[in-house]
Chains A and B, each alone.
Chain A
Amino acid sequence: MTERTLTPVLTRRWAAPKSWTIDTYTRLDGYTALRTALAADPDRLIQLIKDSGLRGRGGAGFPTGMKWGFIPQAKPGEQPTGPAAKPTYLVINADEGEPGTCKDVPLMMADPHSLVEGCIITAYAIRAHRCFIYVRGEVVHCLRRVHNAVNEAYAAGYLGKNILGSGFDLDIVVHAGAGAYEAGEETALLNSLEGFRAEPRLKPPFPATSGLYAAPTVVNNVETICTVPYIVNGGSEWFRMMGREKSPGPKIYSISGHVQRPGQYEAPLGTTLRELLELAGGTKGELKFWTPGGSSTPLLTAKHLDVPLDFEGAAEAGSMLGTTAVMVFNTTVSVPWAVMKWTEFYEHESCGKCTPCREGTYWLTQILQRMVRKEGTPSDVETMLDVCDNIFGRSFCALGDGAVSPIRSGIKYFRQEFLDLCAQQPGQHKQAVLSGSAR
């Protein structure tokens, strides 16, 4: 347990020939957990996932079993009332789009049946008879792989009516998105799936009682659901042999940027950047800054090489685990420039529903752009921090909080780099004008 190496669980089948077909999947133990699950009491399945300590792999790390347990269920023998009387839905968030994040796409391409099997087990546990897999539109190859896997599962009797003679029915619809980062937020995803703009909803009510079509709904990330069959087969003790006490299990770390061998590395939660860099053959050039889990997680630096990358460790270091999208940048990259690019992203993807995020990301972009043009003013750094204070915690959903992460952390660790840009050509900005100020 002390030696932290790679632990291929979800990625185990990826190198198999035609790993995406049902033949390969079943040959490599696929759909065995389903048989176990369908013979079990659904409540005990939920308990298993609670005991395993599985936490959502989409970024927030919410305990998966607890989420399932929130779905109102009628008591045996009683007439269901309230939300329990409505159909329950399972919705898979496959709208991967957080900058740096590239784990669900290869997972769905290589092993779509593990997602389908996970969906069936989860739907059975929460007593849902309809499941929607919301796949990001821009990854059409994932869409067809998942679509094909669903077709194959129907043909094999794993989907449809009376699955494997259990009396349990489930239909899966594969749904393509249309280009909106915000649709990755769970309530925005539900709005999008209902045919509206992908704008977040006020919570409460939470999806567990008022989700899709105002009915009880579980929304889970792809990697989370793909983990479920392994927990059913291996048990919670096996699962807890990997990772740490509060963040157990294996996790796909996606390493990108200035490293020798970028790629997907599945390792126990709690692996450090130092270990990951060793696996990826080291950096290209000197490490300057990195993100533990996408652009919405505050930047870290070379001082943080030994931070255990699990939910607690990343938080203690002042960041977040996010999606374990480890983007590595060397000293050739300007922090203000990188922060500007990310802020342009958040400005583009802000859905516009709430003012702090819509206006804040717009003005932050203007400031950063002029700063990178070397037309910044000395007060710009403070202005940006002030704007960040007015976005963080004041926007409707987490997009706003994510948008300020690169700025705040960039200034925290590299303030001088921002100030230098403002001071470089002081004569040239007699009256610095924000280009959008007439808007």
Chain B
Amino acid sequence: MSSEEPLAGSSVNSEEPLADSSMNSEEPLAGSSMNSEEPLAGSSMYPADHDEPVGTPAFTARPVAAEAAPDQAAPTTLSTAQDVPVERPVQVDTGVFDELTRQRAREIIARYPQSRSALLPLLHLVQSAEGYVSQAGISFCAELLELTTAEVSTVATFYTMFKRRPSGEHLVSVCTNTLCAALGGDEIYATLCKKLGVGHEETAGRPGSPGSITLEHAECLAACDLAPVLQVNYEFYDNQTPQSAVALVEALQRGERPAPTRGAPLTDWRNTELQLAGFFGEPQQLRDAVDGPSAAPETLAGNRLAEERGWQAPAMPDNPPPLPTVAEKK
């Protein structure tokens, strides 16, 4: 189903008036709202909401209404839609998410004092299960967090790491921000586009099949001293050239997994997404991944130079000095 589904759903049944009324009730608190999302986005700022679970009754009304009148719009809510054929929200089957995924989802939610905080990790989990944020994935998160699909969609579409189309076995992200670009990042990206025959957020090969690669240009990847950089599944490949980048994607297409300059042994994008959701596998797997290299010569440049020249920070006193007494409030 198209990504418009949550919007269509919200326009025809009980969801909107209820959601609206809850927004309105907060408006005096919120003051002049910047836009229609402001009261929702800021709702937890206000004391009245503080101790409430995220799913207030206002947000759970949709499925109930939809089930109550299978062929008609829920009659008790909107007056405008009574006598015209009404498009009901399409029921999305979330059965694709197995019991293990559901168990993990419950673990994620348990990490937070308020369940909605689990939304970003849950969307990472959805991507690990399906290879993108599907409509089923949106519904899955909405059900678990007692949100509307519209509320989940608005978040899922905001963040660049959430992909709305099935992605490749590997995700190759090339930094094309100014500094990397000046040192060759633009050329690397252009070369890979040509090599793979794809553009930004497009996949070479059938998405999900072995050797398939989704390409993207990325904003600054926080490795400027190692520019130009690219990432495969968010592991760093530093100091790249067009030639090294082509060799890298050719290896990936052959099913090889060249080791990153900094990062854990390469797996695939979906596995990385599982880690972003907070699941790192067996303890030994985590230890092995943690021990992947991180200290490039650039990282240690200052450290090495200080050692060479015998520079040190001023010596600390042998024992921590006594703590100061608290200054009187003026």
Closest A residue, CB atoms, query B218: A138
Whether B220 lies near A100 (C-beta < 8 A) is yes
B169 CB–A CB distance under 8 Å: no
Whether B326 lies near A47 (C-beta < 8 A) is yes
How does the 8 Å CB contact mask read for A227-261 relative to B, with 1 for contact and 0 for none? 00010111111100110000000100111110001
Our pick among A138, A181, A236 for the contact of B173 (Cβ within 8 Å) is A138
Residues A15 and B154 in contact in the complex (CB < 8 Å), given A137-B276, A147-B280, A279-B305: no
Whether A6 lies near B305 (C-beta < 8 A) is yes
Whether B118 lies near A338 (C-beta < 8 A) is no
Return chain B residues, CB-CB under 8 Å to A175: 117, 120-121
Closest B residue, CB atoms, query A140: B234
Whether A143 lies near B275 (C-beta < 8 A) is yes
Chain-A contact segment, one of B40-48, B67-75, B92-100, B203-211: B40-48
Whether A179 lies near B45 (C-beta < 8 A) is no
A18 CB–B CB distance under 8 Å: yes
Nearest chain B CB to A231 CB, angstrom units: 10
B123 CB–A CB distance under 8 Å: yes
Nearest chain B CB to A244 CB, angstrom units: 15
B297 CB–A CB distance under 8 Å: yes
B63 CB–A CB distance under 8 Å: no
Return chain A residues, CB-CB under 8 Å to B64: none
Whether B179 lies near A140 (C-beta < 8 A) is no
Nearest chain A CB to B173 CB, angstrom units: 7
Our pick among B155, B225, B233, B278 for the contact of A262 (Cβ within 8 Å) is B225
B194 CB–A CB distance under 8 Å: no
B28 CB–A CB distance under 8 Å: no
Whether B120 lies near A144 (C-beta < 8 A) is no
B286 CB–A CB distance under 8 Å: yes
Whether B276 lies near A143 (C-beta < 8 A) is yes
Return chain A residues, CB-CB under 8 Å to B264: 140-141, 144
Complex Cα distance, B179 from A295, in Å, reads: 10
Whether B44 lies near A194 (C-beta < 8 A) is yes
Whether A140 lies near B276 (C-beta < 8 A) is yes
A436 CB–B CB distance under 8 Å: no
Return chain A residues, CB-CB under 8 Å to B220: 97-101, 345
Residues A176 and B276 in contact in the complex (CB < 8 Å), given A213-B44, A242-B314, A342-B178: yes
Return chain A residues, CB-CB under 8 Å to B56: none
Chain-A contact segment, one of B6-14, B17-25, B250-258, B315-323: B315-323
Nearest chain A CB to B187 CB, angstrom units: 14
Return chain B residues, CB-CB under 8 Å to A215: 50
Return chain B residues, CB-CB under 8 Å to A257: 179, 182-183, 224, 227
A354 CB–B CB distance under 8 Å: yes
A78 CB–B CB distance under 8 Å: no
Complex Cα distance, B150 from A196, in Å, reads: 12
B87 CB–A CB distance under 8 Å: no
Closest A residue, CB atoms, query B277: A176
Return chain A residues, CB-CB under 8 Å to B112: 173
Whether A47 lies near B159 (C-beta < 8 A) is no
Residues A15 and B179 in contact in the complex (CB < 8 Å), given A48-B323, A197-B154: no
Chain-A contact segment, one of B76-84, B241-249, B288-296: B288-296
Return chain B residues, CB-CB under 8 Å to A19: 295
Return chain A residues, CB-CB under 8 Å to B286: 144, 147-148, 151
Whether A195 lies near B222 (C-beta < 8 A) is no
A145 CB–B CB distance under 8 Å: yes
Residues A105 and B223 in contact in the complex (CB < 8 Å), given A205-B45, A257-B179: yes
The number of chain B residues touching the other chain, given as a range, is: 35 or more
Whether B224 lies near A327 (C-beta < 8 A) is yes
Complex Cα distance, B208 from A82, in Å, reads: 52
Our pick among A9, A138, A256, A266 for the contact of B224 (Cβ within 8 Å) is A256
Whether B234 lies near A137 (C-beta < 8 A) is yes
Complex Cα distance, B312 from A9, in Å, reads: 8
B3 CB–A CB distance under 8 Å: no
How does the 8 Å CB contact mask read for A109-150 relative to B, with 1 for contact and 0 for none? 110000000000000000000100000111111011101100
Return chain A residues, CB-CB under 8 Å to B34: 202, 353-354, 396
Return chain B residues, CB-CB under 8 Å to A327: 178-179, 224
Return chain B residues, CB-CB under 8 Å to A256: 179, 224-225, 227
A192 CB–B CB distance under 8 Å: yes
A106 CB–B CB distance under 8 Å: yes
B114 CB–A CB distance under 8 Å: yes
Return chain B residues, CB-CB under 8 Å to A282: none
Chain-B contact segment, one of A37-45, A305-313, A367-375, A380-388: A37-45
Whether B305 lies near A141 (C-beta < 8 A) is no
Complex Cα distance, B304 from A14, in Å, reads: 10
Complex Cα distance, B120 from A148, in Å, reads: 20
Complex Cα distance, B223 from A325, in Å, reads: 11
Return chain A residues, CB-CB under 8 Å to B301: 261-265, 280
Within 8 A of B (CB), among A177-201: 177-181, 191-199, 201
Whether B324 lies near A137 (C-beta < 8 A) is no
* Residue in B41, B145, B311 with the greatest tally of chain A CB atoms within 10 Å: B41
Whether B294 lies near A7 (C-beta < 8 A) is no
Complex Cα distance, B307 from A7, in Å, reads: 11
Whether A235 lies near B178 (C-beta < 8 A) is no
A162 CB–B CB distance under 8 Å: no
How does the 8 Å CB contact mask read for A387-430 relative to B, with 1 for contact and 0 for none? 00000000010000000000000000000000000000000000
Nearest chain B CB to A272 CB, angstrom units: 16
B202 CB–A CB distance under 8 Å: no
Whether A264 lies near B225 (C-beta < 8 A) is yes
Residues A102 and B41 in contact in the complex (CB < 8 Å), given A5-B309, A144-B275: no
Since A44-B324, A234-B316, A266-B303 are in contact, a sample of 17 more A-B pairs with Cβ atoms closer than 8 Å, ordered by chain A residue number, is: A44-B323, A48-B324, A51-B324, A99-B179, A99-B219, A100-B220, A136-B222, A175-B121, A178-B276, A191-B41, A197-B41, A202-B31, A202-B42, A230-B316, A265-B302, A345-B178, A349-B219
What are some 23 contacts across the A-B interface (CB < 8 A)?
A: A6-B309, A11-B303, A12-B303, A18-B291, A20-B294, A51-B324, A99-B178, A102-B224, A109-B262, A140-B235, A140-B272, A175-B121, A179-B159, A195-B54, A201-B45, A202-B31, A233-B316, A234-B316, A257-B182, A262-B227, A264-B301, A329-B182, A345-B178
Which 10 residue pairs of A and B lie closest in terms of their CB atoms, listed nearest first? A263-B301, A195-B119, A265-B302, A179-B160, A235-B321, A179-B161, A178-B159, A256-B224, A195-B116, A263-B298
Residues of chain A at the chain B interface (Cβ within 8 Å): 5-9, 11-12, 14-15, 18-20, 33, 36, 40-41, 43-48, 50-51, 86-87, 96-102, 104-106, 109-110, 130, 136-141, 143-145, 147-148, 151, 173-181, 191-199, 201-202, 205, 210, 213-215, 230, 232-238, 241-242, 250, 253-257, 261-267, 279-280, 295, 325, 327, 329, 332-333, 338, 341-342, 345, 348-349, 351, 353-354, 396
